[in-house]
Chain A
Amino acid sequence: MALLEVRNLVKSFDRGTVLDGIDLTVEKGDVTAVLGPSGSGKTTMLRCLNYLERADAGTMVFDGVSYDLRDAGKGEISALRKQTGFVFQSYNLFSNKTVLDNVTLGLTSGRSMDRKEARDIGITELERVGMQDYADRYPVQLSGGQQQRVAIARALATDPKIIYFDEPTSALDPELTSEVLDVMIQLAGSGITMVVVTHEMTFAQNVSSRIVFMEGGNIIEQGSSSEIFDSPKEERTREFLKLNG
């Protein structure tokens, strides 16, 4: 059974429909890259899946449990979020917390884990992203790439079943994107289920196992990475890949 199954996700803002009935399936271990032009609804879709936005309609089955993406209670949402991780475009590290506290707060406050145990996990995850030497620094003392690596460690610390990445390298200078991508490539190799909204074509082509191409609030085409890149069926996908390739 699929880890994540989204059916008929619909979302409108005042300016119009952003998601026009999205169906999406993610298998355990998949690394799914979500591609598409700006304004195609990629980020909104990701945010709806973690209830950062309320959908107007839609259902989701996550790890065998059904969720209504429009009406869900606080308890359900909180239970869901405890099984997911989210990496933001603008990192959103807690600016008043040290690097280590950023990584452990979800454990100590969110899950009442004792500080010692949380600390060990925190250090391990910081080592995984190569940031262990910065444990006592504050976010403002780090470069964007370092902040995003800490944000990834923070998402990993709670041992989520899936991690959503919302354009994780879009806010970074070109020379800083590679350090973040390297971490993501390493994660992809370790079997973590990832859904990555991205403009990084190289990452999508070489690292992700599946591609979802979106435009105008719809999924135009989806398939394995090689299918989409080598023989896209839809004209729009071909155009997009040519322009961005």
Chain B
Amino acid sequence: MNTWQLLVDSFPKIILPGLVMTVPLTLISFSLAIVIAVIVALIQYAKVPVLTQIARIYIWIIRGTPLLVQLMVGYYGPSAFGIKTNGFAVAIVVFAINEGAYCAETIRGCMESVPKGQLEAGYCVGMSYWGIMWHVILPQSFRAAFPALGNSLISMVKDTSLASNITVTEMFLATRQIAGRTYQFLPLYLEVAFIYLMFSTVLEALQRRGEVGLGRYDNGTSGS
């Protein structure tokens, strides 16, 4: 078969798993990751006893072990106890837990860079600690964390290719299957690389628009 013809024929077969697997996997996992990250960051910022230590251990383990190993443990671990696992569900949970640890550190760092005077001003107008977190510290931290979180999201789109190792037929596994049948490895891998690039480009564009939208309160001339 002609290589061009193969690329054209395979395109929908690769992009379809991209749309039904890669994209939902990324979006669901990343949303969960942000929820985990905010909770873990808040626990550490507020220095909640015991939970802070647990948060540190969580981050230590997740950041110190390979994502591929985490996926394998998540997939094969439960079956040791006779629990049948679903690759897609495991992938969602593992990606969320993994990304949550990194994003927690990003958000915590941004929270700690919010000037202490913001917290003091909140106290002095009679707000509660958590009220100040919600209305003042977290929104400012998100603004600061936004570029780094966008980075994490783009990384995650590509990392989802690792889910092919636990039977999730996302884009990369679909590509490998076609390559295995046709022996046209290089053109197909370049094709899937191009599709990942397209997805990332869309996200980058969204990120830039988001930054402009969020930038409204730190534009303009600064006071004396």
Give A residues with C-beta under 8 Å from B: 50-52, 78, 81-82, 84-86, 88, 90, 92-97, 105-106, 109-111, 138-144, 146-147, 151, 154-155, 157-158, 172-173, 176
Contacts and interface: CB of A to CB of B under 8 A. Distances in A.
A78 B140 contact: no
A96 B126 contact: no
Contact of B224 (A82, A93, A176): A176
B223 interface: yes
Interface in B94-125: 115, 117-118, 120-125
Interface of B: 115, 117-118, 120-128, 131, 134-136, 139-140, 143, 216-224
A96 B114 CA distance: 11
Nearest to A80: B126
Contacts, number: 98
A93 B223 CA distance: 12
B221 A141 contact: yes
Contacts of B135: 94, 97, 105, 109
A155 B128 CA distance: 16
Contacts of A138: 216-218, 220
B76 to A, nearest CB: 45
B136 A106 contact: no
A7 B63 CA distance: 52
A154 B126 CA distance: 11
Nearest to B138: A96
B217 A85 contact: no
Given A84-B124, A94-B135, A146 B223 contact: yes
Contacts of A90: 117
Contact of B220 (A52, A78, A141): A141
Contact of A96 (B124, B127, B128, B143): B143
A92 B115 contact: yes
